[in-house]
Amino acid sequence: MPLISVIIPVYNGAKTIKETIESVLQQTLTDFELIIINSDSTDGTWEIVNSIEDPRLKIFNYPKANVGINRNRGIDHATGEFITLIDADDLWTADKLEAQYQALQENPQADVAYSWTDYIDENGQYLGICSHVNWTGDVYPPMLLTNFIVTGSNVLIRSQALKEVGRFDESLTNAHDTDMWLRLAALYQFVLVPCVQILYRISPNSLSSNVGRLEIACVKVLERAFQTAPESLQYLKRHCFANLYKYLLYKTFLGEPDRRRSWIAAKFLAKTIKNDPSIITKGASLKSIIKILTIAILPSQFATDLFNKFPRIANTNTILSYLKTDPVSIKP
């Protein structure tokens, strides 16, 4: 029986799947099985995966399904003492498995290990810091505020803990990761490997780029979490939803200006202010209002030219700097 089961769900991942698999096969800890769940890809993914020769590979083909279903399919095949997943376009540093396994060995009270994450672009080039937090032990309060794990490609979990919390929620269209990390954090302690080991690829075609579906799924997950969260943590709820809508507002502004998305951005800004009225006095709110009106009124190319001419005014990414992530700093 292998020590670790690594699961990669993939659908039409021909552009990145080989590089992702190689980042797993090159791990310094070698006692693992690599389970590939191909979801009826039509772009040559199946051929690429089957061309890789390594006895640790176990390849399965299934009908097309959502991420939650495909992850559960992989878990059904897993035999390791520990389980980890990686998305078909993300990458690991070579010491990811070894460092997280060692962290769990040195901290037997913990059942989940995670590492820091950075962004890369479609070509694998570094974009910037994604999440470099330092939460350990009982991470449930900060996890309620924001998904600091960020990606499903991160954690190493003791198989028994995963078995006890249950499978990924197959009814969700998105936010499967957030839901799972919240359920784990409610019951188990986490340990951190304080270095970058996850490279999270940002793509305009990624699942999280559909902000409408993302909102619906996240609201469902967070409402469900607060239904079972202790009374002592209920004060975090409005801050949690403020963080969600700040993030959704940021996501809505990505890409080319689009009039339809300007109305979505206006809705998200309104919900941000409802949950965090203090944000209305911040420069990021004024910039967001200006950007929303510009996109709504001007043709797309005119809006783009204006934003390029005045980049400081057009930069609404600063909205993310107002995420509240420390429960201790928030008064009940």
Buried b (16+ CB within 10 A) or exposed e, 181-200: bbbbbbebbbbbbeebbbbb
Share of residues in the chain with pLDDT > 90 (%): 85
Asked if 181 and 143 count as a contact pair (C-beta separation under 8 A), the reply is: yes
pLDDT at 204: 58
Asked if 173 and 217 count as a contact pair (C-beta separation under 8 A), the reply is: yes
In the chain, the amino acid numbered 324 is K
Beta bridge partners of 82: 4, 158
Instruction: State yes or no: pLDDT of 203 exceeds 80.
Output: no
pLDDT tens sequence across 61-88: 999 999 999 999 999 999 999 999 999 9
Helices of type H across 52-196: 67-77, 96-106, 140-145, 159-165, 176-187
Backbone angles phi, psi at 96, to 5 degrees: -60, -55
Average pLDDT of span 91-111: 98
- pLDDT category of residue 179 using cuts at 50, 70 and 90: very high
Instruction: State yes or no: pLDDT of 207 exceeds 70.
Output: no
Instruction: Describe the crossing of helices 259-275 and 237-253 by its angle, rounded to 10 degrees.
Output: 160
Total H helices, total E strands in the chain: 13, 9
Average pLDDT of span 158-164: 97
pLDDT at 254: 83
pLDDT at 205: 54
- pLDDT category of residue 255 using cuts at 50, 70 and 90: confident
Instruction: State yes or no: pLDDT of 96 exceeds 60.
Output: yes
Name every residue whose Cβ is closer than 8 Å to that of residue 220 and which is 6 or more positions away in sequence. 172, 175
Within 10 Å of residue 123's Cβ, how many Cβ atoms?
7
| pTM, full prediction | 0.93
Nearest-Å Rg of the Cα atoms of the chain is: 20
Q: How far is CA 293 from CA 1, 199, 250, 284, in A?
A: 59, 35, 16, 14
Beta bridge partners of 196: 116
Strand ranges (E), the chain: 4-10, 32-38, 57-61, 82-85, 91-92, 110-120, 126-131, 156-158, 189-201
pLDDT tens sequence across 16-44: 999 999 999 999 999 999 999 999 999 99
Average pLDDT of span 113-137: 94
pLDDT at 208: 47
- Average pLDDT value for the chain: 94
Instruction: State yes or no: pLDDT of 245 exceeds 70.
Output: yes
Instruction: State yes or no: pLDDT of 314 exceeds 90.
Output: no
For the ranges 131-140, 146-155, 307-316, which has the lowest average pLDDT? 307-316
Backbone angles phi, psi at 92, to 5 degrees: -115, 150
Backbone angles phi, psi at 207, to 5 degrees: -60, -40
Backbone angles phi, psi at 282, to 5 degrees: -90, 150
pLDDT at 312: 86
Asked if 38 and 10 count as a contact pair (C-beta separation under 8 A), the reply is: yes
pLDDT at 209: 58
pLDDT tens sequence across 260-279: 889 999 999 999 999 999 99
Beta bridge partners of 5: 33, 83
Average pLDDT of span 295-315: 89
Better pLDDT: 25 or 258: 25
pLDDT at 88: 96
- pLDDT category of residue 137 using cuts at 50, 70 and 90: very high
The CA distance from 213 to 217, in Å, is 6
